[in-house]
């Protein structure tokens, strides 16, 4: 047993990070070095606790296919561009993690052998068992599917105990808490309730995968320095959808 595992509830996780949290609107940088370093340190902390970590990064800080489609870009082409953006983010995160001593591998759904390994389930599991963080780039490898769907799929394929969705807010609310001061936070939710109320947690395809496989989704504030560590210990942080 790896050091720290006895104190951890979720021993293997899939961490979903949006691409937007990497960028900095004030400076105009798509990938802010300080934010990247902050995220890498948070991942390193739970890696040191013995948690096996898979990561899926969005690409919205660079290009979002659906937004591009609204501006005249063919949807399939736009989604392909978005998938490539996730690979750029994956490589940036790999570099940040390895620079602080965390062994990391990037695997992609779109084959690009000079940049990353192709995704092979058994190889991914072997990396996790050896204590390597595995970053999954390229989405699902198909257009019309979001990185939420990719995260749900990869969580199932690696047998994750939980899917952790890191956001800019500390959970799921009845409304946008930044716009509605009366918005109330959910401590826990059923998948069916989240779908019925159209709460913007993950898309319906991602929810369907989670419901079929029974993997809980935990939504929390990644910018809270202690939240990620508390989540993997099973403490009541954010909102759990199960």
Q: How far from chain centre, in Å, is Cα 130?
A: 21
What would the pLDDT profile of 38-74 be if each residue is shown by its tens digit?
Answer: 999 999 999 999 999 999 999 988 886 566 666 778 8
pTM of the model: 0.90
Contact 50, 3 (CB under 8 A): yes
The CB-side HSE value for 62 (13 A sphere, CA atoms) comes to 20
Residue 177: predicted pLDDT? 79
Residue 138: closest CA among 160, 115, 156, 161? 115
Residue 1: predicted pLDDT? 38
- Using CA atoms, how far apart are residues 122 and 158, in angstroms rounded to an integer? 9
Low-confidence ranges of the chain (pLDDT < 70): 1-6, 64-70, 194, 196-213
Average pLDDT, the chain: 87
Residue 234: closest CA among 3, 79, 5? 5
Share of the chain above pLDDT 90, in %: 52
- Using CA atoms, how far apart are residues 18 and 163, in angstroms rounded to an integer? 14
Residue 163: closest CA among 176, 149, 152, 175? 152
- Using CA atoms, how far apart are residues 58 and 235, in angstroms rounded to an integer? 26
What burial class does residue 72 get, using C-beta atoms within 10 Å of its C-beta: 0-12 exposed, 13-18 middle, 19+ buried? exposed
* Pick among 3.40.1160.10, 3.40.50.300, 3.10.290.10, 3.90.380.10: CATH of 5-241: 3.40.1160.10
Residue 231: predicted pLDDT? 94
């Amino acid at each position: 047993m790896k050091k720290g595992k006895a104190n951890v509830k979720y021993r293997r996780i899939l961490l979903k990070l949006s691409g937007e949290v990497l960028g900095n609107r004030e400076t105009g940088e798509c990938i802010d070095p300080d934010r990247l370093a902050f995220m890498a340190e948070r991942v390193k902390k739970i890696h040191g606790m013995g948690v096996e970590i898979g990561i899926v990064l969005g690409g919205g800080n660079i290009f979002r296919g659906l937004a591009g489609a609204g501006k005249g870009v063919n949807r399939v082409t736009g989604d392909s561009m978005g998938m490539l953006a996730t690979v750029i983010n994956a490589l940036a995160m790999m570099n940040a993690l390895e620079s602080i001593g965390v062994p990391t591998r990037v695997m992609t759904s779109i084959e690009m052998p000079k940049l990353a390994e192709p995704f092979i389930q058994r190889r991914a599991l072997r990396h996790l068992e050896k204590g390597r963080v595995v970053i999954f780039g390229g989405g699902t490898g198909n257009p019309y599917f979001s990185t939420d769907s990719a995260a749900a799929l990869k969580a199932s394929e690696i047998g994750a105990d939980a899917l952790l969705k890191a956001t800019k807010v500390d959970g799921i609310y009845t409304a946008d808490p930044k716009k509605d001061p009366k918005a109330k936070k959910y401590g826990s939710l059923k998948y069916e309730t989240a779908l019925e109320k159209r709460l913007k947690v993950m898309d319906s395809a991602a929810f369907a995968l989670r419901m079929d496989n029974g993997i809980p989704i935990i939504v929390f504030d990644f910018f809270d320095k202690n939240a990620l560590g508390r989540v993997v210990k099973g403490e009541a942080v954010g909102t759990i959808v199960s």
